[in-house]
Amino acid sequence: MKKNVTALQKGLNTGITLGVVMVFLSLTAFTVVLANIIGDSYRPTPVTYGFVIALFGFFGGLMASSKRGLPNDDWKNVLTSSAAAGLIGGVILAVPLAVLGSIHLNGTDLRNYLVMVSPDVMETYLFGIGLLPAILITVIIFAAGAILGGAFNKGAARAEWRARWMANSQEKIRSAWQAPRVQQVVAGRYSKLFFMVGALLLLFLMPFVWGSYWNYVMGTVGLYILLGLGMNIIVGLSGQLVLGYVAFFAIGAYAMGLLSSPEPLGIQLGFWPALLASILVAALTGILLGLPILNLRGDYLAIVTLGFGEIIRILIKSDSLTWFTGGPKGLRAIAQPAIFGLKFNSDVNFMHLILVGVLVGVFIAYRLQYSRTGRAWLSVQGDQTVSRATGVNTYQYKILALALGAAFAGIGGAIFASRNQFTGPEDHVLMVSINVLCLVIVGGMGSLPGVILGSFVLKGIPELLRDLTDYRLLVFGVLLVVMMIVRPEGLWPTRRPKLEKQHLSKYDPDNDEASSEEVSA
């Protein structure tokens, strides 16, 4: 526990931290981009920008007025702390504003020194008025936001009436849920089936309804779910930190491309045989990669596999292999799926294909995870030496994890190449591996719902927030740091099955007695 400081000190600490963060975000023009998103326009207005400043101030007030570290939780302390945070944060933010503002007003283009700070951005920071009023307004808005945040925290979030109201509404929901008629429906014999059919029907119909843009975004999310499922087997279950995962994705995509494109090999297999081949080739690569790295652990494993991913990408790109891989210009005219001679290549069709892939993938991953095989993987992750001494052939299981994980990446790569009708070296950069690793970690290592949730958070949301493209790495970094502090086990942490309960529910108590006697006899 932190030692208690005075309300003023706590406010100053929070304010300084937040102020420094705000300066950084302002120098990268992140605040302006946020203002654009809020205002839904391409040009920030003083109003939306002011709102962003107030929002950050509000956040600072919330932090400064949290119970932790405050001597006590009365109005005086809360307001002192949040006001101090707001003022000091505003002042820190005002210092660069004063410096940069005066340079800007002299007519110098700041972009020579700070790439993101265009004259437009500077005008926003100055609210289109003079330097001194702008500084005053910034500090006042920030402080006002902070005080409001503190007041909100004390007056609403922590207040007694809110707790009572929450408990009350929870009780209402619970009693409504437990009403006999509701329970009858939920526990009914066909309701589970009904819900499942309903969900499947919804999934089937959605691609028709939401248009090609959404099909593209959701298709990408789906492909990343497939990749995440494979990565989850390798990292989340068997505990091998493989950073070159993109290599398997690349090999899947290139197997599909090389076997079905007219150039450069001219084999021109159909989609389905090429898909099967992609899976097999990727799995085989997994096995081949697994052999030399069997005895590597931790950091060493990460570095070696990172190198593997880069080697594959550079080989694909290499000029001397152009006759085989198509070189830097990539592969074109990759086969698209057809069913009984009917073309199956619209965006809706691909969405359905990816949906089927994801459903089958989740099913397989689920069954593997809760089997003897999955437990062996988990034991390898927990303690490899002990796992081996307990009788698990750890080499075999590590290679199996790599092969199956790579197979998932192979499917993902093959569908990706076919959907885009093209694949080139730039599709297979290190960032793909890092994205997949991030989504597994953010979702929760070893957790299947976590993989799905992680894919939506890390691939779906950035696709939708196109304005944030330049800041994707920043957002990633912040997200990961926050995750590690707030929820180190992931958004949807893995839960182990209740096997004992499951076992006991299968056998009636009489049977159970008999078996216990056998042992003690």
Partner 1 sequence: MTKLTLTNHPPVVIEAQSVTKRFGGLVAVSSVDLSIREKTIYAIIGPNGAGKTTFFNCISGFYTPEEGEVLFYGKSIKGKTTDRIAHLGISRTYQNIRLFSQMTAIENILVGSHCRYTNHWLDAILHTRRYRREEAESLAKAHDLLKFIGLEGLGDNLASNLPYGAQRRLEIARALASNPKLLLLDEPTAGMNPQETDEMIEFIRSLRDNLGITILLIEHDMRMVMGISEYISVLDYGMKIAEGTPTEIQSNQKVIEAYLGPGAAALQEKFSRGKDE
Q: Which residues bind partner 1 (CB under 8 A)?
A: 364, 367-368, 371-376, 378-379, 381-383, 385-394, 400, 404, 496-504, 506, 515-516, 518-520
Strands (E) located in 419-506: 422-423
CB of 373 to partner 1, least distance (A): 5
Q: Is 245 helix (H, G, I), strand (E, B) or coil?
A: coil
Rounded Cα distance between 225 and 357, Å, is: 10
Residue closer to partner 1 by CB (options 329, 503) is: 503
Query: Checking phi first, is residue 40 left (phi over 0); if not, alpha (psi -120 to 50) or beta?
Result: left
Contact 248, 410 (CB under 8 A): yes
Residue closer to partner 1 by CB (options 133, 382) is: 382
CB of 16 to partner 1, least distance (A): 39
- Specify the long-range contacts of residues 448-454, CB closer than 8 Å, at least 24 apart: 448/229, 448/232, 448/362, 448/365, 448/366, 448/369, 449/492, 450/490, 450/491, 450/492, 450/493, 450/494, 451/225, 451/228, 451/229, 451/232, 452/225, 452/228, 452/362, 453/491, 453/492, 454/228, 454/490, 454/491
Contact 272, 346 (CB under 8 A): no
CB of 41 to partner 1, least distance (A): 49
Residue closer to partner 1 by CB (options 7, 378) is: 378
Beta-ladder partners of 423: 331
Name which of 42, 440, 424 is nearest 226 in CA terms.
440
CB of 235 to partner 1, least distance (A): 14
CB of 29 to partner 1, least distance (A): 43
Rounded Cα distance between 258 and 267, Å, is: 7
Residue closer to partner 1 by CB (options 181, 506) is: 506
CB of 171 to partner 1, least distance (A): 29
Amino acid at 370: Y
CB of 404 to partner 1, least distance (A): 7
Rounded Cα distance between 66 and 150, Å, is: 8
Residue closer to partner 1 by CB (options 500, 510) is: 500
Residue closer to partner 1 by CB (options 284, 315) is: 284
Residue closer to partner 1 by CB (options 55, 404) is: 404
Q: What is the DSSP string of 60-81?
A: HHHHHTSSTT-S--SHHHHHHH
Residue closer to partner 1 by CB (options 94, 378) is: 378
CB of 366 to partner 1, least distance (A): 10
Residue closer to partner 1 by CB (options 65, 447) is: 447
CB of 485 to partner 1, least distance (A): 21
Name which of 411, 376, 429, 389 is nearest 286 in CA terms.
411
DSSP H/E element including 332: strand 331-332
Rounded Cα distance between 439 and 398, Å, is: 22
3-state helix, strand, coil in the chain (%, to 5): 75, 0, 20
Residue closer to partner 1 by CB (options 41, 393) is: 393
Residue 42, phi then psi, degrees to nearest 5: -90, -10
Rounded Cα distance between 285 and 253, Å, is: 13
CB of 310 to partner 1, least distance (A): 30
Quickly tell me which residue has 């989609």 as its tokens.
271
